[in-house]
Structure 1
Amino acid sequence: MYIYLNGDIVHVSEAVISPFDHGYLYGMGVFETFRTYDGHPFLLRDHLMRLSAGMKEMNIEADLDEEKIRHIITDLLNKNGLKDAYCRLNVSGGPGEIGLKTSPYEDATVILFQKTLPHSEPLKEKEGEFLNIRRNTPETSERLKSHHYLNNMAAKREIGASMDKEGIFLTGDGHLCEGITSNLFWVKDGELCTPSVETGLLNGITRQFILALSGFLNMPVRVGMYAEVDILKADEIFFTNSVQEIIPVNKLGSTHFPGANGKYVGFFHEQYEKYKRHLNSIEELRKGE
């Protein structure tokens, strides 16, 4: 497998970064994960916007011109012989002296990773599980998709390695927040519900897409602060992320849910299928393009 590293496409066995990279030393790095479908990077513009915002927060400078990134993605897909791929675009501060840096990072390390994914997958159900470990508070005013992943790792260790389970974080105050690697949605009486960003969740691109899609289709939406009991009263529950798309929940605690047979889960899955091979941004959806 090949990766893109600071201007070059290299085999993973030849990829080298500095041990003085502040992404390694101090966690000064942000990343985005997204998928390509038949070579199209779904919602790439939104991913790049969030990545740029995270870089600005960390004082990291790098060229993220959209057309340049699209060419890199295509060239790497061709080199790896892929059309449908998992992509991770990673930007870290780059090498520097040991010690906390206050001036801008001007020599960033930029890496694009890819790995193969199936062309089409059926809806894969998961069981939800409330976590004992609580969601930590963001390092800044809004959670970044950064290298700071210990809270998520500790949560994954709590529920174990099973791919059929997803843990649900509560905040320190006991409000529903998000999954370990996903955002959380449920439907009650035809209304779509999801926790607010004020809980400290990562505002996922797929989360934003589902909310915009609901508005576009005039589906009632409620974003707020919720307790465990609220979601247990739901008609349907699902998780979202940019790689696994729509993830139906068939069980949470001792309560069973429709999972992949849910009416709204099926509806959102159909809509996702409709847009994923051509949409560049959520704004295009709002404009009806």
Structure 2
Amino acid sequence: MYMYVNDKLVKEEEAIISPFDHGYMYGLGLFETFRLYEGHPFLLDDHFVRLEEGLRALAIDWTYNRSHVLHQLATLCNKNGVRNAYIRWNVSAGPGPIGLYTDTYKEPTVIIYMKSLPQGLSTRKTGTLLELRRNTPEGDRRLKSHHFLNNVLGKREVAKDPQTEGIFLTEDGVLAEGLTSNVFWVKNGVVYTPSVDTGILNGITRQFVLTLCDKQGIPWREGRYPKEALLKADGAFITNSIQEIVTLTSVGQAEFNQDEAVIMSLRKSYQKYCTKLWSKNEIKEGKQDVNNTCK
């Protein structure tokens, strides 16, 4: 597969970065993962608004240019012969002197990685509550950063089962998020999810699902909830930008009654928009701008 490194199209095995990149040396970097559906980069604007905000917090100078991004995505689509794909867009601080640097990084390293996605990803998994607790954000909020040790250790606790999602609790024992997902549950027709002030990542798909709830008139609540709220739910699901909306059939020993009307309604609505939307705001504004990337 081909990828981009600093605007240069290269084969994966030819990709290199500086050993002095502060993304490598000190973890100063952010990334976004999103999907292409028939060439369309779903919720691209939402992903890059979040990316830009995070990079400003890290003093990394990079600006989103949609036309430039679309050109590079189209090139990768055509070069790799794919139209349905996983994209990881990575921006790290770039090379710098050894030591803790406090000025703005002016020459970030930008890597765009693509892989083909199979049709029909799993829409059902099991969940398990992790013994390992969710670490607190290293800044004032959680960024989608290179700091993934907590996630890796949690994944090792779950072991190699790809059909099980580990779910973190915070240090004070309230529900947080999944290893690579946000967590939702349904009780008496109301959708619940942990609030951002628990230290979770405010996922793009999380935000989109809450927008869909508003559009469909589904009541929802966010807050600080004990694990029992999830374990006693009528149903539960997890979200991320690659897997979309995945039903949890159980969490530990707690099995759900699988009254999936709310979950199925959200999933159906989600899939209706995959080839159309640039941002969740288009739903709020009643607009649907159709413009595929790969021609």
TM, length-normalised to structure 1: 0.97
The amino acid of 2:231's aligned partner reads L
What is the match of residue 217 of structure 1? 216
Give 1:123 deviation, angstroms: 4.6
Contact 2:88 2:113 in 1 (8 A): yes
With over 3 angstroms needed to count, the CA separation of the structure-2 counterparts of 1:268 and 1:123, relative to structure 1, is farther
Secondary structure of the residue that 1:111 maps to in structure 2?
strand
Computed over aligned residues only, the root mean square deviation of the Cα atoms, in angstroms, reads 1.1
What is the match of residue 65 of structure 1? 65
The amino acid of 1:116's aligned partner reads S
Give 1:63 deviation, angstroms: 3.3
CA–CA separation in structure 2 for the residues paired with 1:246 and 1:282: 16
CA–CA separation in structure 2 for the residues paired with 1:141 and 1:105: 20
CA–CA separation in structure 2 for the residues paired with 1:282 and 1:273: 13
Secondary structure of the residue that 2:87 maps to in structure 1?
strand
What is the match of residue 278 of structure 2? 280
With over 3 angstroms needed to count, the CA separation of the structure-2 counterparts of 1:144 and 1:122, relative to structure 1, is closer
What is the match of residue 148 of structure 2? 149
CA–CA separation in structure 2 for the residues paired with 1:71 and 1:122: 27
CA–CA separation in structure 1 for the residues paired with 2:216 and 2:165: 28
CA–CA separation in structure 2 for the residues paired with 1:258 and 1:247: 16
Task: Structure 1: state its 5+ residue gaps.
Answer: none
What is the match of residue 96 of structure 1? 96
Percent of matched pairs sharing the same residue: 49
What is the match of residue 186 of structure 2? 187
What is the match of residue 199 of structure 1? 198
Aligned pairs for 1:48-87 within 5 A = 48-87=48-87
The amino acid of 2:245's aligned partner reads I
The amino acid of 2:286's aligned partner reads G
Contact 2:232 2:254 in 1 (8 A): no
CA–CA separation in structure 1 for the residues paired with 2:197 and 2:63: 30
Secondary structure of the residue that 2:32 maps to in structure 1?
strand
The amino acid of 2:108's aligned partner reads A
Q: Choose 83-92 or 245-254, whichever is displaced more.
A: 245-254
What is the match of residue 265 of structure 2? 267
The amino acid of 1:160's aligned partner reads A
CA–CA separation in structure 2 for the residues paired with 1:20 and 1:277: 39
The amino acid of 2:98's aligned partner reads I
Q: Choose 56-65 or 137-146, whichever is displaced more.
A: 56-65
Give 1:251 deviation, angstroms: 1.1
Structure 1 moving runs of 4+ over 2 Å: none
What is the match of residue 2 of structure 1? 2
Alignment size in residue pairs: 287
Contact 1:2 1:10 in 2 (8 A): yes
Give 1:32 deviation, angstroms: 0.2
1:37-68: CA deviations, max 9, x gaps?
A: 00000000000000001100110012321221
1:177 aligns with 2:176: yes
Secondary structure of the residue that 2:214 maps to in structure 1?
helix
With over 3 angstroms needed to count, the CA separation of the structure-2 counterparts of 1:66 and 1:26, relative to structure 1, is same
Q: Choose 262-271 or 170-179, whichever is displaced more.
A: 262-271
CA–CA separation in structure 2 for the residues paired with 1:164 and 1:15: 31
Contact 1:186 1:235 in 2 (8 A): yes
TM, length-normalised to structure 2: 0.95
Give 1:285 deviation, angstroms: 1.0
